[in-house]
Structure 1
Amino acid sequence: MSQAAETLLFELGMEELPPGALASLSDALTNNLVAGLEKAGIPHGKATGLGAPRRLAVRIADVAVQQPDRPFEKRGPAINVAFDESGAPTQAAEGFARSCGVDVAALAQLETAEGAWLVHRGVETGQSTAELLPGIIEQALTGLPVPKRMRWGSQSAEFVRPVHWVVLLLGDAVVPATFFGVDSSRQSRGHRFHHPDPVEIARADDYEARLRAAYVAVEMTERRDMIIEGVRAEGERLGGHAVMETALIDEVNALVEWPVVLSGSFDADFLRVPPEALVSSMQEHQRYFPVRDADGKLLPRFITVANIESRDPQRVIAGNERVIRPRLADAAFFWDQDRARPLAERQDGLRAVVFQKSLGSVQDKAQRVAQLASRFATQMGTTPALGERAAALSKADLLTEMVGEFPDLQGVMGRYYAHEDGEAEAVADALEEIYRPRQAGDAIAATPLGQLMAVVDRADTLIGIFAIGKAPTGAKDPFALRRAAVGLLRTLIEGEHAINLHALFSEAGAAQPPGLNAAEQVPALTAFCLERLRAIYLEAGFAAELFEAVRSVLDVNDFEPLDFDRRIHACKDFSQLPAAGSLAGANKRIRNILRRAEALPEAVVDANRLNDTAERELYEAIEARQGDVQRHIEGGEYSQALAQLAELKAPVDRFFDEVMVMSDDPARQANRLALLQRLQGLFLAIADVSALPESV
Structure 2
Amino acid sequence: METLDFLFELGTQELPPKALKSLSDALEADVTSGLKELFGKDADLLLKNSEIKSYAAPRRLALVIQNLPTEVPGSVFVMQGPPARIAFDGDGKPTKALEGFARKCGASVAQLEEINGKMHFSKEVPAKPVSNQLPAIIEEALAKLPIPKRMRWGASRTEFVRPVQWLAMLLGDQIVDCEIMGLKSGRTTRGHRFHYDQEIELSNASEYLENLESVGKVIADFDERREKIRAQVEAEGALVNGIAQIDDELLDEVTALNEWPVALTGRFEERFLDVPAQALISSMKEHQKYFHVTDEEGTLMPYFITICNIESKDPAQVIAGNEKVIRPRLADAAFFLETDKKRTLESRIDDLNNIVFQKDLGTLHAKAIRVAALAKHIAATLKQDEFKAERAAMLAKTDLMTDMVFEFPDLQGLMGYHYALNDGEDEAVALAQNEQYMPRFAGDELPQSEPGIAVAIADRLDTLTGLFGINQPPTGSKDPFALRRAALGVLRIIVEGKLDLDLADLIQVAVSNHGHLPASAGAETKVLDFMLERFRAWYEGEGIAVEVFLSVLAVKPTQPLEFDKRVKAVNHFRTLSEAEALAAANKRVSNILSKQGVSDALSVSQELLHDPAEKTLAAAVAAKQTSLAPLFEQGDYKAILEQLADLRSDVDSFFDDVMVMADDEAVKNNRLALLSQLRNLFLGVADISALS
Question: Normalized against structure 2, the TM-score is what?
Answer: 0.90
> Does the 8 A contact of 1:290 with 1:303 survive in 2?
yes
1:136 match: 137
Pick from 480, 491, 498 the counterpart of residue 493 of structure 2: 491
1:192 match: 193
2:676 match: 677
2:437 match: 435
Structure 2, unaligned runs of 5 or more: none
Aligned-partner Cα distance in 1 for 2:497–2:100 = 81
Aligned-partner Cα distance in 1 for 2:399–2:600 = 64
1:290 match: 292
Q: CA 1:669 to 1:95, structure 2 compared with 1: closer, same or farther past 3 Å? A: closer
Q: CA 1:250 to 1:100, structure 2 compared with 1: closer, same or farther past 3 Å? A: closer
2:16 match: 18
Aligned-partner Cα distance in 2 for 1:648–1:84 = 74
> Which is worse superposed, 676-685 or 660-669?
660-669
Deviations 1:166-193 (A, max 9, x none): 2222233321111122222222223222
Secondary structure of the residue that 1:423 maps to in structure 2? coil
1:32 match: 30
Pick from 212, 218, 221 the counterpart of residue 219 of structure 1: 221
Q: Does 1:51 align with 2:37?
A: no
Q: CA 1:628 to 1:26, structure 2 compared with 1: closer, same or farther past 3 Å? A: farther
Pick from 333, 336, 343 the counterpart of residue 335 of structure 2: 333
Secondary structure of the residue that 1:470 maps to in structure 2? coil
Pick from 328, 349, 352 the counterpart of residue 350 of structure 1: 352
> Does the 8 A contact of 2:586 with 2:688 survive in 1?
yes
Q: Does 1:147 align with 2:145?
A: no
1:516 match: 518
Q: Does 1:644 align with 2:643?
A: yes
Letter in 1 for 2:213: R
1:409 match: 411
Pick from 372, 379, 382 the counterpart of residue 381 of structure 2: 379
1:588 match: 587
Aligned-partner Cα distance in 2 for 1:641–1:565 = 15
Question: Cα distance, 1:615 vs. partner?
Answer: 5.6
1:549 match: 551
Question: Cα distance, 1:404 vs. partner?
Answer: 0.7
Equivalence map 1:499-538=2 (5 Å): 499-512=501-514, 514=516, 516-538=518-540
> Does the 8 A contact of 1:600 with 1:673 survive in 2?
no
> Does the 8 A contact of 1:601 with 1:673 survive in 2?
no
Q: Does 1:173 align with 2:171?
A: no
Question: Cα distance, 1:410 vs. partner?
Answer: 0.8
> Which is worse superposed, 417-426 or 342-351?
342-351
2:165 match: 164
Q: CA 1:282 to 1:611, structure 2 compared with 1: closer, same or farther past 3 Å? A: same
> Which is worse superposed, 186-195 or 421-430?
186-195
Aligned-partner Cα distance in 1 for 2:240–2:617 = 73
1:299 match: 301
Question: Cα distance, 1:409 vs. partner?
Answer: 0.7
Aligned residues: 683
Q: Does 1:60 align with 2:59?
A: no
Letter in 1 for 2:63: V
> Does the 8 A contact of 1:215 with 1:258 survive in 2?
yes
Tell me the C-alpha RMSD between the 2 structures. Answer: 3.3
Aligned-partner Cα distance in 1 for 2:363–2:396 = 14
Identity of aligned residues (%): 46
> Does the 8 A contact of 1:567 with 1:639 survive in 2?
yes
2:453 match: 451
Deviations 1:174-232 (A, max 9, x none): 21111122222222223222333333444434433333323322222222222222222
Letter in 1 for 2:68: V
> Which is worse superposed, 317-326 or 86-95?
86-95
Aligned-partner Cα distance in 1 for 2:636–2:84 = 79
2:631 match: 632
Aligned-partner Cα distance in 2 for 1:671–1:84 = 75
Q: CA 1:237 to 1:661, structure 2 compared with 1: closer, same or farther past 3 Å? A: farther
> Which is worse superposed, 592-601 or 253-262?
592-601
Aligned-partner Cα distance in 2 for 1:380–1:233 = 50
Aligned-partner Cα distance in 1 for 2:104–2:586 = 70
1:692 match: 691
Secondary structure of the residue that 1:576 maps to in structure 2? coil
Letter in 2 for 1:140: A
Question: Cα distance, 1:641 vs. partner?
Answer: 1.9
Q: CA 1:573 to 1:452, structure 2 compared with 1: closer, same or farther past 3 Å? A: same
> Does the 8 A contact of 2:598 with 2:672 survive in 1?
no
> Does the 8 A contact of 1:260 with 1:309 survive in 2?
yes
1:271 match: 273
> Does the 8 A contact of 1:13 with 1:163 survive in 2?
yes
Secondary structure of the residue that 1:429 maps to in structure 2? helix
Deviations 1:569-615 (A, max 9, x none): 21122223344334334433444555566979965455677777766
Letter in 2 for 1:641: I
Q: CA 1:617 to 1:446, structure 2 compared with 1: closer, same or farther past 3 Å? A: same
Secondary structure of the residue that 2:278 maps to in structure 1? helix
Secondary structure of the residue that 1:370 maps to in structure 2? helix
Question: Cα distance, 1:274 vs. partner?
Answer: 0.6
Question: Cα distance, 1:633 vs. partner?
Answer: 1.9
Aligned-partner Cα distance in 2 for 1:422–1:601 = 58
Q: CA 1:272 to 1:609, structure 2 compared with 1: closer, same or farther past 3 Å? A: same
Deviations 1:376-403 (A, max 9, x none): 2211342221122112111111111100
Letter in 2 for 1:677: S
